[in-house]
């Protein structure tokens, strides 16, 4: 064959490969963006959702509904992605990814069509959020593995970088999109995913090709079950631990929570013991013998815990204090909180793709380590800010935080995916996603607990003095001042006037002047500012330390990041 013809054929084949690579990247980016968008879109729309189904989110017993609508999606992801990643290694990653698109779309449509009112509607929505989470788990568990199968190691950082940017961008844009759509109709926040989901499902079914060989091995049902039960029990303990119990601000010391956490830990220990003895385990623990794999996942978990609570803490800061002090009504604060947090997304959009491309050339360690150091520094800057800050100072700090996490995410994910044999890429992708989502749920429990602890130490006395000074009878002031601080937090989080939430029916019995003073937009922020600053300083200092530890874990990964099939034969221990 003439040389010119060989060159044309080779060039034509290379073009086909490149086109397919970009098609895969586009489809997986759409799937991850859609799933991430829905993980946060509910946050801002919660007041509209509860109004729509006729349920008071802060009524007796209803905080549980609120928490599970927030967390059920992430819990489903945390529980299932490792199992689904391993299942993708066995039966085919593209097949399960396509199934995830379909399930997620059906769950979104069911949520938009939520029937009934009150608690029955809330239960239905929580169930459908779990269905969305199951679909999202199929997507997250297999997207990274499909990209790793499609792109050579020299370009994986770039591909995973774009994918990671889509995930984080979707998470933060959900706050803005949810605020806009919820003002029109709360059902729109779920309808918006349906056309994109249908398009993505058909597109993936027609165009994606299965490049990983299907393996005829047994599914580890025992390991999957033990892992799922253990994670569920631990996450249940964390979720309910931040709720008040009797006269206590939280439930951490109650037998119920201790029992859930201990039982969850026992199941996870049993899971490890069982996996070590199986020939075909769900999670091949020998993968953790690789320093790059173990260190990368440790850094991922620490970074996820540090980042996960950031969104909620910033929302509380903006909605509960800063925006009301600057003339925004509490009903307006959810949407504007999302808008004012856009520099965080901007920083991530700038650094994410760049770090992915550069890490392919220079290695991931320098970028992931530098990213965590910048993120740690940004948290210290947030601690040093006054409660009523200048936005021109606040915005660059948010951008620095976004740049830091953007520098970290793609190189770290690429290093982990490159460190394993191709037959374990689904498992590796599942481990990454599990630690990421588990870390986020952990962080919400940790940061809320730290915040509530800080508030509970000084808020009752501050609130008592302020309410008495405003003209509220001392007996009523004492009763309100000693209500759980979580009511104030969730009131601000939902865009409700926290003082109205605390006073309830007592408000109508007060003189109009006193009621007007107590419910003004400036009153609650002024009262809570000192206590809030104490709590958020503890939370962000903890986040800074976690990011610093993630930087050390990133350094510890070593220099070798690309696994060659001859390097390691992973055998069951």
DSSP category for residue 290: S
Residue 570 has pLDDT above 50, yes or no: no
Residue 564 has pLDDT above 60, yes or no: no
Q: Which of 6-15, 187-196, 375-384 has the lowest mean pLDDT?
A: 6-15
Spatial neighbors of 321 by CB under 8 A, at least 6 apart, are 387, 388, 492, 525, 528, 529, 532
What values do phi and psi take at 211, rounded to 5?
A: -100, -15
Question: For residue 59, what pLDDT band results from cuts at 50, 70 and 90?
Answer: low
What was the pLDDT predicted at 37?
83
For residues 511 and 518, what is the distance between their CA atoms, to the nearest angstrom? 11
Spatial neighbors of 368 by CB under 8 A, at least 6 apart, are 299, 359, 407, 408, 411, 412, 415, 554
What was the pLDDT predicted at 378?
94
Residue 190 has pLDDT above 70, yes or no: yes
Question: For residue 9, what pLDDT band results from cuts at 50, 70 and 90?
Answer: very low
Kindly list the distances between the CA atom of residue 334 and the CA atoms of 385, 484, 531, 570, in Å, as whole numbers in the listed order: 22, 22, 22, 49
Residue 6 has pLDDT above 70, yes or no: no
Q: Once rounded to an integer, what is the mean pLDDT over residues 535-554?
A: 89
For residues 272 and 143, what is the distance between their CA atoms, to the nearest angstrom? 26
Indicate the SS3 state at residue 510.
coil
Within 244-341, residue ranges assigned H as helices are: 255-277, 291-308, 310-317, 323-325, 333-340
For residues 232 and 226, what is the distance between their CA atoms, to the nearest angstrom? 10
Q: Once rounded to an integer, what is the mean pLDDT over residues 256-279?
A: 86
Question: For residue 128, what pLDDT band results from cuts at 50, 70 and 90?
Answer: very high
Q: Once rounded to an integer, what is the mean pLDDT over residues 519-542?
A: 78
pLDDT tens-digit map of 29-45: 888 888 888 877 887 77
Nearest-10 crossing angle of helices 193-207, 93-112: 160
More confident residue, 105 or 5: 105
pLDDT tens-digit map of 400-442: 998 998 888 878 887 787 777 777 766 777 777 777 777 777 7
Contact predicate 457/276, CB 8 Å: no
Q: Once rounded to an integer, what is the mean pLDDT over residues 166-183?
A: 78
Rounded percentage of the chain residues whose pLDDT exceeds 70: 83
Assigned token pair, 470: 């405003």
Assigned token pair, 396: 């660059």
Indicate the SS3 state at residue 115.
coil
Average pLDDT, the chain: 79
Question: For residue 504, what pLDDT band results from cuts at 50, 70 and 90?
Answer: low
Residue 109 has pLDDT above 90, yes or no: yes
Assigned token pair, 566: 């001859």
Q: Once rounded to an integer, what is the mean pLDDT over residues 519-531?
A: 74
Question: For residue 484, what pLDDT band results from cuts at 50, 70 and 90?
Answer: low
Q: Once rounded to an integer, what is the mean pLDDT over residues 213-235?
A: 75
Spatial neighbors of 367 by CB under 8 A, at least 6 apart, are 355, 358, 359, 407, 408, 411
What was the pLDDT predicted at 565?
46
Assigned token pair, 102: 């379909």
Contact predicate 503/489, CB 8 Å: no
Work out the number of other CB atoms within 10 angstroms of the CB of residue 27.
21
Question: For residue 254, what pLDDT band results from cuts at 50, 70 and 90?
Answer: confident
Question: For residue 469, what pLDDT band results from cuts at 50, 70 and 90?
Answer: confident
Residue 568 has pLDDT above 70, yes or no: no
Work out the number of other CB atoms within 10 angstroms of the CB of residue 195.
11
> Both ends of the chain: CA-CA distance in Å?
52
Indicate the SS3 state at residue 248.
strand
Residue 562 has pLDDT above 70, yes or no: no
Q: Once rounded to an integer, what is the mean pLDDT over residues 144-162?
A: 75
Residue 314 has pLDDT above 60, yes or no: yes
Assigned token pair, 206: 């027609």
Contact predicate 539/256, CB 8 Å: no
Contact predicate 409/76, CB 8 Å: no
More confident residue, 197 or 483: 197
For residues 544 and 68, what is the distance between their CA atoms, to the nearest angstrom? 28
């Amino acid at each position: 064959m003439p040389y010119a013809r060989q060159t044309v054929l080779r060039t034509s084949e290379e073009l086909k490969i490149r086109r397919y690579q970009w098609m895969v990247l586009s489809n997986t980016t759409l799937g991850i963006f859609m799933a991430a968008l829905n993980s946060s879109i509910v946050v801002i729309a919660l007041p509209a959702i509860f109004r729509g189904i006729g349920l008071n989110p802060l009524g007796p017993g209803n905080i549980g509904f609120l928490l599970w609508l927030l967390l059920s999606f992430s819990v489903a992801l945390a529980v299932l992605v490792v199992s689904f990643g391993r299942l993708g290694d066995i039966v085919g990653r593209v097949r399960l990814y396509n199934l995830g698109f379909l399930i997620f779309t059906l769950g979104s449509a069911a949520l938009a069509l939520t029937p009934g009112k009150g608690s029955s509607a809330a239960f239905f929505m929580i169930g459908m959020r779990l269905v969305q989470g199951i679909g999202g788990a199929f997507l997250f568990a297999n997207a990274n593995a499909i990209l790793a199968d499609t792109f050579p190691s020299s370009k994986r950082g770039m591909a995973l970088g774009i994918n990671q940017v889509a995930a984080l961008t979707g998470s933060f844009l959900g706050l803005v999109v949810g605020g806009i759509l919820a003002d029109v109709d709360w059902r729109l926040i779920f309808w918006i995913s349906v056309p994109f989901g249908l398009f993505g499902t058909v597109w993936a079914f027609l165009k994606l090709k299965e490049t990983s060989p299907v393996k005829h091995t047994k599914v580890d049902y025992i390991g999957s079950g033990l892992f799922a039960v253990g994670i569920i029990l631990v996450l249940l303990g964390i979720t309910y631990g931040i709720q008040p119990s009797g006269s206590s601000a939280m439930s951490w010391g109650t037998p119920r929570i201790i029992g859930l956490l201990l039982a969850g830990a026992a199941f996870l220990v049993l899971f490890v013991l069982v996996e070590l003895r199986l020939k075909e385990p769900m999670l091949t623990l020998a993968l953790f013998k690789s320093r790059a794999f173990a260190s990368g996942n440790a850094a991922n978990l620490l970074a996820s815990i540090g980042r996960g609570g950031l969104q909620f803490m910033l929302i509380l800061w903006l909605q509960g204090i800063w925006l009301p002090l600057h003339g925004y009504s509490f009903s307006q604060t959810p949407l504007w909180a999302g808008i004012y947090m856009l520099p965080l997304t901007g920083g991530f959009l700038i650094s994410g793709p760049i770090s992915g491309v550069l890490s392919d050339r220079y290695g991931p360690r320098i970028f992931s380590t530098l990213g965590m150091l910048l993120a740690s520094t940004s948290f210290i800057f947030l601690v040093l800010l006054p409660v009523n800050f200048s936005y021109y100072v606040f915005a660059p700090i948010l951008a620095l935080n976004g740049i830091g996490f953007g520098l970290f995410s793609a190189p770290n994910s690429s290093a982990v995916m490159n460190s394993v044999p191709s037959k374990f890429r689904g498992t590796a992708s599942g481990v990454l996603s599990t630690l990421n989502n588990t870390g986020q749920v952990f962080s919400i429990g940790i940061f809320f607990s730290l915040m509530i602890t800080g508030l509970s130490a000084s808020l009752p006395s501050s609130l008592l003095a302020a309410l008495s000074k405003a003209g509220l009878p001392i007996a009523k002031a004492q009763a309100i001042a000693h209500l759980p601080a979580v009511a104030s937090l969730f009131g601000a989080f939902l865009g409700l006037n926290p003082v109205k939430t605390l006073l309830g029916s007592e408000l109508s019995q007060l003189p109009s002047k006193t009621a007007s003073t107590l419910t003004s937009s400036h009153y609650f922020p002024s009262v809570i500012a000192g206590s809030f600053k104490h709590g958020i300083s503890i939370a962000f200092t903890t986040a800074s330390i976690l990011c610093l530890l993630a930087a050390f874990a990133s350094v510890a990964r070593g220099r070798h990041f690309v696994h060659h099939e001859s390097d390691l034969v992973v055998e069951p221990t």
